Amino acid sequence: MHKPANSLGGDIQTIASRASIGGGICKELVNFLPQRLIAIDISENNLFRFLSELKNLESGIEVKETEIIYKIMDIRNRYLVEKLLQDYSVDYLIHTAALKHVPFCEENLSEAISVNVGGTLTLMNLAKDKGVKKFIYISTDKAVEPISVMGATKRIGELLIKIFSQDKNSLTRFISVRFGNVIGSSGNVIEVFSQQLQAHKPLTITAPEMSRFFMSLEEAVKLILEVIWMGQEGQTFVLDMGKPIRIKDLAYDMALFYGKRLRDEDIIYIGKRRGEKIEEKLWGAQEKVFTTAHPKIFRVEEEAPDFALLERVNFLLENVYNLKEEELRDLLFSTVRLEGTRGFKDV
């Protein structure tokens, strides 16, 4: 880290503690010796496992100097989130909670919008109202020119960051950070391949030419923490993911690690599902890319969204359980595309 460890002193609240990124951030943050770390998750089991993992780290970390608070909470529950922010003076709110799997979001459209958009908006409003110093929104490369429900909901989150940053009376700095796949995250392709190889089953791949960006959890967490201290109002940062990796090549390499040489019949191509792209991008055609003081972190800029976006987002949330699925899907994507990003096509 470029900054001294005490540069993130105070109270730090991390949303979604046990999810790979949220859990990794929590574990790294205790090195900064904050006065208090608040870990939130909707899952009791996730919180239990996270706390067990944190205790296993105590021998090498002065965890006792930090008060660890853990809460079971749905980020859409305004009453509980507001009470938490009233009870504790939170300086940094790191928002990692989301429904993240593309096929699941496609099949659970209303919940994806409710959690990824509604939950995010609830947190942002309360962070502003309660004077949180910095709100850090964790985004994804799937938010770039999105064709999936998951990507569209995360893109709205990025746009909301820019909307809230235009409020000159707000004491909160809103920042977003975007990156691709994290090795070791739950449900990722590496985990799936490992399970299939150990079970001696064929490996399932969407298409021979499909590729994705990958980064280790450790590196992603460290770069996110860099963004926290360098980020200014309304900025969107993108982590340098290196070159994309073909999923087919990854499958062959992982098979060798397990002592197996793949044959053609060892791979099943299942075809592209709704919302999936053959390849991802880290920034869109409408964005300008700038370097930062850190060689692995870029900053992207685009035209600020219109304030009318907030009205459209609220309308979307008001109708999230009322409209038929295709009507709701159309409303979601029209909300995104009205911000000058029309005509998304798969590549």
Query: What are the tens digits of pLDDT across the range 203-245?
Result: 999 999 999 999 999 999 999 999 998 988 899 999 999 999 9
Q: What are 80's two structure tokens?
A: 């509980």
346 has pLDDT over 50: no
If phi > 0 it is left, if psi is from -120 to 50 it is alpha, else beta; for residue 241 that is: alpha
Higher pLDDT, 18 or 144: 144
Question: How does pLDDT run across 55-95, given as a tens digit for each residue?
Answer: 776 555 556 678 888 899 999 999 999 999 999 989 999 99
Global pTM value: 0.91
Summarize pLDDT for 286-330 with one digit per residue, the tens: 999 999 999 999 999 999 899 999 999 999 999 999 999 999 999
Query: Are 25 and 220 within 8 A, CB to CB?
Result: no
Would residue 142 show up in a list of annotated catalytic residues for this protein? yes
pLDDT of residue 287: 96
- Copy the structure tokens of residue 312: 């459209």
Residue from 82, 3, 4, 66 nearest 30 by CA: 66
Domains of the chain, each with CATH number or no CATH: 98-245+277-337 (3.40.50.720)
Q: What count of Cα atoms within 13 Å lies in the side-chain half-sphere of residue 270?
A: 9
Helices (H) and strands (E) in the chain, counts: 12, 15
- Looking at mean pLDDT, say which of 31-40, 45-54, 96-105 comes out highest: 96-105
The one catalytic residue in 142, 154, 162, 277 is 142
